[in-house]
């Protein structure tokens, strides 16, 4: 058979590979008098899977078969370019000779039994792939980080890499930590206080990595179950007893000195003044014997293991208890006592000693110091018990105070404009007043204008302002007396106008104002009944004015809510409506 030139015959033109014996009259071999029409494939479907591409097409009625060709640089232009994948009369084919994460360009050429090809081709593109690692767990301990993951469908192994400057971007960058088929690994011989950034890349049987990775950071020795949320700053203890702080440092409340690593501006207020801050946790001094922390509006309190009490930050109302200096930028010991056992702070400070005595100082304009008068006090002063019992638990609200006594009774004092004292009135009180007759109270928490308490049977009670749903009873009307909230609970904390609580199974629930994501469950702008925050379990909680913090059983610390001043601690600014890990 002689080869002839390609001939175009109208809209249904074909590429004539040869006349197939149909020479022109006279046997001249001139194909111009014998054009044959083959219709082009109208559509080619290509569906990528893991390690394969499923192809499908329709064979035109005047064709006897279809040739499929592919290339990785562009669509094959002719029936001889690229790599042949298939040639036959079928209407589908699965291409398995492919690599994951490589883009393949396919072209389908219709032809007749004599090798005449249609003039045009149908095209499709597909990229085989497999799933990325969906989540990487990282729990820190002294000198090590315990990692965990799941190998996704389509993958056969995992590569774990780490770096300290940034998350590894590829499966070849950073330092190789692990490579294999296991789902856990302990990265050892690490340097404490160094921030390690991990990336987990899934791989297929050909050891091709998925370019998308699950990332997680971790900083040995890991977080202890002690955190504190303040007005715009946060505090946390590491497992070795070291103290860390982040967020606004406008009044020295971070305790890291006069200099701050960052400058923050309230992103919600274009006219706000730049404020010194830290967007990630900064170590406070070198001590490793901190035991308890509490964050006030713009000051901080801490107890060391020897029972000493320390304070730093703003002192405009005497809330540090160390004299008349307007602020202290590093921790300063409060007095010489060594038997302090519990602390709480707002614009005023409360503290318990191991002998059951209660002490207060700082802002006292509404009687929140419980000393029988109003006015600020610059040094710790003992609060009378009003009974023969001793004090066992304390909470500092916006301008009111709550406390429990050893006989299980509940006491309150200070501002009461919203009924936050729980005594059935809206009258302020400057001395502790017993609330109700119950003797089975076990925990208390105080927000700006609302209060929470637990009983020993796990029932939760709330009272005070409810304009944002912070009482959790499904309405917005306040209550001047405690009212029960459904459920069985084990731990409570109160923010400015929001509430957090743990159930007995360790799950976290929140309600109240969610104006900047402080509930952690996307309930904006508010939620009037307890709603779960994810499905994880938690061990301890803290609530700031507009942000929240929690520690999970693996020692990881999470924060969410308002973050203008870095109080969430994840290197960025902007509100976070769900928990984000703090390094």
Can you tell me which residue has the tokens 């709330």? 462
Instruction: Write the CATH number for 475.
Output: 2.130.10.30
Q: How much is the pLDDT for 29?
A: 41
Q: What is the DSSP string of 285-337?
A: SS---EEEEEE-SSEEEEEETTS-EEEEEE-TTSTTSS-S-SEEEEEEE-SS-
Name the domain boundary from 126, 151, 186: 126
Q: How much is the pLDDT for 32?
A: 43
Instruction: Write the CATH number for 60.
Output: 2.60.40.10
Q: How much is the pLDDT for 35?
A: 58
Name the domain boundary from 176, 197, 218: 218
Are 477 and 431 members of one domain?
Answer: yes
Q: What is the tens place of the pLDDT at every residue in 261-301?
A: 999 988 777 777 899 999 999 999 999 999 999 999 999 99
Give the residue from 57, 104, 53 showing the smallest Cα distance to 83.
Answer: 104
Any domain includes 239: no
Q: How much is the pLDDT for 34?
A: 52
Are 146 and 115 members of one domain?
Answer: no
Any domain includes 232: no
Q: What is the mean pLDDT of residues 343-358?
A: 98
User: Over 70: is that where the pLDDT of 176 sits?
Assistant: yes
Are 427 and 546 members of one domain?
Answer: yes
Q: How much is the pLDDT for 577?
A: 96
Are 393 and 427 members of one domain?
Answer: yes
Any domain includes 502: yes
Q: Determine the Cα–Cα distance for residues 500 and 502; give it in Å rounded to an integer.
A: 7
Are 96 and 173 members of one domain?
Answer: no
Name the domain boundary from 163, 183, 218: 218
Are 522 and 436 members of one domain?
Answer: yes
Q: How much is the pLDDT for 273?
A: 86
Are 102 and 146 members of one domain?
Answer: no
Q: Which has the higher per-residue pLDDT, 387 or 256? A: 256
Any domain includes 286: no
pLDDT-derived band of residue 27, with 50, 70 and 90 as boundaries? very low
Which residues have CB under 8 Å from 226's CB, separation 6+? 236, 237, 291, 292, 293, 540, 551
Q: Determine the Cα–Cα distance for residues 345 and 396; give it in Å rounded to an integer.
A: 5
Q: How much is the pLDDT for 4?
A: 28
Token readout for 32 is 């111009």
pLDDT-derived band of residue 443, with 50, 70 and 90 as boundaries? very high
CA distances (Å), 451 to each of 41, 141, 344, 509, 582, in order? 73, 36, 14, 16, 28
Are 33 and 113 members of one domain?
Answer: yes
pTM for this prediction = 0.83
Which residues have CB under 8 Å from 106's CB, separation 6+? 44, 46, 53, 55, 68, 69, 70, 75, 85, 123, 124, 125, 126
Split into its structural domains, the chain has a count of 3
| Domain limits for position 186 | 137-218
User: Over 70: is that where the pLDDT of 36 sits?
Assistant: no
Q: What is the tens place of the pLDDT at every residue in 316-347?
A: 999 999 988 999 999 999 999 999 999 999 99
């Amino acid at each position: 058979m002689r080869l002839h030139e390609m001939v175009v015959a109208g809209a249904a033109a074909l590429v004539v590979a040869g006349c197939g014996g149909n020479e022109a009259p006279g046997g001249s071999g001139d194909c111009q008098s014998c054009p044959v029409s083959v219709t082009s494939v109208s559509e080619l479907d290509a569906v990528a899977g893991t390690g394969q591409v499923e192809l499908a097409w329709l064979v035109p009625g005047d064709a006897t078969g279809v040739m499929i060709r592919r290339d990785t640089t562009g669509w094959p232009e002719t029936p001889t370019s690229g790599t042949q994948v298939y040639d036959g009369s079928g209407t589908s084919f699965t291409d398995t000779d492919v690599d994951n994460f490589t883009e393949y360009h396919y072209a389908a050429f219709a032809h007749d039994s004599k090798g005449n090809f249609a003039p045009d081709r149908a095209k499709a593109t597909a990229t085989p792939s497999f799933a990325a690692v969906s989540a990487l767990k990282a729990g820190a301990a002294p000198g090590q980080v315990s990692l965990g993951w799941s190998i996704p469908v389509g993958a056969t192994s995992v590569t774990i890499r780490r770096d300290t400057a940034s998350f590894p971007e590829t499966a070849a960058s950073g330092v190789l930590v692990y490579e294999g088929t296991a789902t856990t690994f302990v990265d050892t011989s690490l340097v404490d206080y160094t921030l390690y950034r991990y990336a987990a890349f899934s791989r297929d049987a050909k050891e091709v990595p998925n370019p998308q990775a699950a990332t997680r950071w971790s900083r040995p020795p890991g977080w202890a179950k002690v955190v504190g949320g303040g007005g715009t700053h946060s505090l946390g203890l590491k497992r070795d007893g070291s103290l860390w702080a982040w967020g606004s440092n406008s009044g020295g409340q971070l305790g890291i000195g006069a200099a701050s690593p960052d400058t923050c501006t309230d992103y919600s207020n274009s006219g706000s003044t730049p404020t010194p801050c830290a967007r990630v946790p900064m170590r406070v001094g070198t001590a490793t014997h901190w035991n308890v922390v509490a964050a006030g509006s713009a000051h901080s309190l801490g107890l060391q293991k020897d029972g000493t009490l320390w304070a730093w930050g703003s002192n405009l109302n005497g809330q540090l208890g160390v004299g008349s200096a307007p602020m202290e930028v590093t921790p300063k010991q409060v007095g010489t006592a060594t038997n302090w056992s519990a602390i709480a702070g707002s614009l005023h400070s409360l503290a318990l000693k191991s002998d059951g005595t209660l002490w207060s100082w700082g802002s006292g304009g509404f009687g929140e110091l419980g000393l029988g008068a109003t006015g600020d006090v610059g040094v710790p002063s003992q609060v009378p018990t009003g009974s023969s019992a001793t004090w066992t638990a304390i909470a500092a609200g916006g301008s009111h105070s709550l406390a429990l006594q050893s006989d299980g009774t509940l006491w309150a004092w200070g501002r009461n404009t919203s009924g936050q004292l729980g005594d059935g009135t809206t009258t302020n009180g400057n001395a502790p007043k017993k609330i109700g007759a119950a003797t089975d109270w076990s925990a208390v928490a105080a927000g700006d204008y609302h209060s929470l308490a637990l009983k020993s049977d796990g029932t939760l009670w709330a009272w005070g302002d409810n304009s944002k749903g912070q009482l959790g009873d499904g309405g917005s009307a306040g209550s001047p007396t405690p009212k029960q909230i459904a459920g069985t609970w084990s731990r409570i904390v109160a923010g400015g106008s929001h509430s957090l609580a743990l159930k007995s199974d360790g799950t976290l629930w929140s309600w109240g104002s969610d104006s900047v994501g402080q509930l952690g469950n996307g309930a904006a702008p508010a939620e009037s009944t307890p709603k779960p925050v994810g499905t994880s379990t938690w061990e301890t909680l803290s609530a700031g004015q507009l942000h929240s913090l929690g520690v999970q059983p693996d020692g990881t610390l999470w924060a969410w809510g308002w973050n203008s001043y870095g109080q969430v601690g994840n290197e960025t600014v902007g509100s976070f409506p769900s928990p984000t890990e703090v390094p």
